[in-house]
Amino acid sequence: MTRKEKTRVVLDLLRERIPRPETELEYRDPFELLVAVMLSAQCTDVRVNIVTPDLLKRFPTPQVMAEAEPDEILEYIRSISYPNSKAKALAVTSRMLVEEFGGEVPGTHAELMRLRGVGRKTANVMMAVAFDEPAIAVDTHVFRVANRIGIVKDAKTPHAVELGLHRVIPKEEWGEAHHLLILHGRYTCTARSPACSSCPVTEHCGYFAALQKLPKPIKGLDPKRGKYYSKASGRYFDKPITKADRNGVEQIAEPGSGSMNVFLAKTGETTKKVKDYRV
């Protein structure tokens, strides 16, 4: 199966699981969406949706927000991550909207990228969601999910993931695919504990396949003899070293032999980790 074919199958399976692949941010017009997306960096949509009603009631348009000092905006967004820099960005961006774009949110990627606090990801969300133009915004969820499943091959940056997704997803599906991957990452393929047992794409997932190849737990180890157990030497030890495996993943290893076939004496589980993808 080619990567394109695999992606088609994966997206079809996600479509069955996720009936409404759309943003969870609440908004009524492009300005409200821009504010919400700017606030959502490193913050949950749930938290953003809590603060935007009062914020946008006080500053309903770019013109009104442009008159505000960052400190006035800050009062409404204190519970959001990085409130100081986001308050400044909203104030500056509102002034730019009024002074350079006639009080409207511009509808091109290049113009959006000129706004303070608007990077490639935010501009892509605006293009796809507000203006219905083909774009894939790569956030932490899309980055992780696309790499884990293997829709993209070991892409190291969000931009590389975006370009990889462009190659395997038909342009007319970019906006929808972006939401499918985000929602899959948010609710199923989470960063810390992906719910592989209830995931619809298990049999197509490279990360899951790698997990299955990890050594099985060893029964009957004695934690009184040491924190770790090396299967290669049959020895217990307390102070491990770390070594990068051939995928560049730092693994716990036995000092001396350097073996990475190490187990936790308390649980019998392997200490080996599968390559993961976080941004």
Q: Which of 45, 121, 238, 243 is an active site residue?
A: 121
Stretch that binds ligand SF4, among 68-76, 121-129, 189-197, 245-253 (CB under 6 A): 189-197
Stretch that binds ligand SF4, among 60-68, 81-89, 186-194, 252-260 (CB under 6 A): 186-194
Q: Which of 221, 230, 237, 236 is nearest to 272 (CA)?
A: 230
**Is residue 60 within 8 Å of residue 36, measured between CB atoms?**
no
User: Out of 177, 194, 251, 263, which residue is the one contacting ligand SF4 (CB under 6 A)?
Assistant: 194
181 binds ligand SF4 (CB under 6 A): no
Q: With respect to ligand SF4, which residue has the nearer C-beta, 63 or 202?
A: 202
140 binds ligand SF4 (CB under 6 A): no
208 binds ligand SF4 (CB under 6 A): yes
Closest distance of CB 272 from ligand SF4, Å: 16
Stretch that binds ligand SF4, among 45-53, 175-183, 198-206, 257-265 (CB under 6 A): 198-206
210 binds ligand SF4 (CB under 6 A): no
4 is catalytic: no
121 is catalytic: yes
- The residues binding ligand SF4 (CB under 6 A) are 148-149, 188-189, 194-196, 199, 201-202, 205, 207-208
List active site positions.
Answer: 121, 139
